[in-house]
Homo-oligomer: A and B are copies of this chain.
Amino acid sequence: MRASVHRFTQRDPGDVTQLAEAIDRGEIDPATIVAFIGKTEGNGLVNDFTRGYLVLSLKLLLSERLGRSPDEIGRSVVFVFSGGTEGVLTPHYTVFCVDRSTPLRAAGPRRLAIGRALTRAPLAEEIGTRAQVALVADAVRRAMAEAGIADGADVHFVQVKGGCVTTEAARAAHARGAVLASADPNRSMAFSRVAGAFGVMLALGDIAEDQVDEANFFSRLDLWSDRASVSSGIEVAENEVVVFGNSPGWQSDFVIGHHVMDDALDLGGAYACLDGLGIDCRGNNRAEALGRIVCALVKCEPDASGLIRGQRHTMWQDGDINAQRHIRAAVGGLLAGVLGDTRLFVSGGAEHQGPPGGGLLALIARVA
């Protein structure tokens, strides 16, 4: 098994020409593509249709190149897009391929391993509840199995994408007497993320079954995953899960590392993540070793207390710019400055993903 990682940028959310050209040049075998993770240039909120537009555009491209219907593509490839390239961030998507022509080797240096799984589509009334947690946890376990990873400790990053409740879906649910965690579309996106995070924690053994309690959602701030990254949006119904780890059975040039970020200013956490990959670049974002990084995955959130290191921030009280857009811009600005690269997957909405007010950073790099 051999994973490969390819990063492409876009002119607009319907632009898939760089991938098309890479396929045409023979650099990517489209049949080996297992997942896409990317940032599109919408607002990252309920009415962000750039994610769906890119999904459709990629399905069409693969449909054409593989001679399969777009629907079939949708069932065999995972698409995880997060909207919002605030500040210096660059719209881009990373293509993850798995070459299965070589079987899992018995032993060797730990290398990037990838597994995926889908859940069924949760009902509107399941979003943000224990039912969704169970669906996600099951999918994480299946994705780990696909990756050939038995021990949760070998997992370095789990990306989950889930749906949310639109105004229309809420109306339909109310019409059939269903009770929703939230009928507010934006709020339901947060609920969907929380259920995803609990699902990851449950599957990885970070929490016990009895801690999966809706009363803990948003409130037990000490329950958080250091490896779960969850996005939600109206363009998906199912929960889509991609598990990333390092495994001795896989062969490639790539490894993954991760580190928590204690708060939105956690420069030290970012350098610690780089240290783990053997990249020394403190204060110098033009360091050559930074060129080894091929993918950066970030979760962050506006501190719920309204304070960062004791000083007030205004993100939660801004009626013009959503708080998640603020924090993506700021943390994206910090990490782009650390890494010297703006092609970062920076996703907001980090409830129970990393410590409160902080988040996560995972980096995939070529080995030195």
Residue pair A326, B86 in contact (C-beta under 8 Å): yes
Task: Known A-B contacts: A167-B305, A311-B341. Give 15 more (CB < 8 A).
Answer: A11-B166, A14-B53, A41-B317, A46-B319, A86-B329, A87-B313, A87-B330, A167-B306, A264-B337, A265-B340, A268-B286, A271-B283, A308-B342, A319-B322, A330-B333
The verdict on A327 contacting chain B, using a C-beta distance below 8 Å, is: yes
Report Cα–Cα, A314/B41, bound state, in Å. Answer: 7
Name which of A88-96, A125-133, A251-259, A358-366 contacts chain B: A88-96
User: Is A32 in contact with chain B by the CB < 8 A criterion?
Assistant: no
Measured CB to CB, the closest approach of chain B to A198, in angstroms, equals 21
Say which residue of B184, B321, B342 sits within 8 Å of A321 (CB atoms).
B321
When the two chains form their complex, are residues B329 and A87 in contact, meaning their CB atoms are under 8 A apart?
yes
**What would 18 A/B residue contacts be, using CB atoms closer than 8 Å?**
A12-B49, A14-B49, A14-B52, A46-B319, A47-B319, A49-B53, A60-B60, A88-B313, A90-B308, A168-B306, A168-B312, A267-B338, A267-B340, A311-B343, A319-B322, A330-B330, A330-B332, A333-B334
Q: How many residues on A have C-beta within 8 angstroms of the other chain's C-beta atoms?
A: 81
User: Does A152 interact with chain B (Cβ within 8 Å)?
Assistant: no
Interface string of A281-311 (1 = CB under 8 A from B): 0111110000000000000000001111101
Do the beta carbons of B333 and A12 come within 8 Å of each other? no
Tell me whether chain A's interface is mostly helix, strand or loop, or mixed: loop
B50, B166, B311, B337: the one contacting A317 at CB < 8 Å is: B166
Copies in the complex: 4
Asked whether A11 and B312 contact (CB < 8 A) given A267-B338, A322-B319, A340-B265, the answer is yes
Known: A86-B321, A320-B43, A329-B330. A234 touches B283 (CB 8 A): no
A283 to chain B, nearest CB (A): 4
Residue of B nearest to A85 (CB): B314
A185 close to B333 (CB less than 8 A): no
**Contact pick for A265, options B48, B57, B60, B88, CB 8 Å:** B88
Please report which residues of chain A, range 229-248, place their CB below 8 angstroms from some CB of chain B when the two chains form the complex. Answer: 234
Check A347 for interface membership: any CB of B closer than 8 A. no
> Which of B86, B306, B309 has a CB less than 8 Å from the CB of A171?
B306
A87 to B314, CA, bound (A): 8
Q: Are the C-beta atoms of A56 and B14 separated by less than 8 Å?
A: yes
Q: Is the CB of A313 within 8 A of B342?
A: yes
Closest residue of B by beta carbon distance from A318: B47
**Given A52-B12, A309-B342, A342-B309; A88-B330 close (CB under 8 Å):** yes
The complex places the Cα of A89 from the Cα of B265 at a distance, in Å, of: 11
**CA gap between A268 and B285 in the complex, in Å:** 7
Residues of B within 8 A of A306 (CB): 167-168, 170-171
Contacts of A42 in B (CB 8 A): 49
Residues of B contacting A85 with CB < 8 Å? 313-314
Q: Is A4 an interface residue (CB 8 A)?
A: no
B329 contacts A90, C-beta separation under 8 Å:
no
Q: Is A37 an interface residue (CB 8 A)?
A: no
Q: Is A225 part of the binding interface, using a Cβ–Cβ cutoff of 8 Å?
A: no
Are the C-beta atoms of B309 and A341 separated by less than 8 Å? yes
Instruction: Tell me if B311 and A264 are in contact (CB < 8 A).
Output: no
Whether A336 sits at the interface, judged by CB under 8 Å, is: yes
**Residue in chain B with minimal CB distance to A261:** B337
CB proximity of A150 to chain B, nearest CB, Å: 36
A313→B89 contact, CB < 8 A: yes
* Interface pairs A-B: 3 shortest CB-CB: A45-B319, A87-B330, A330-B333
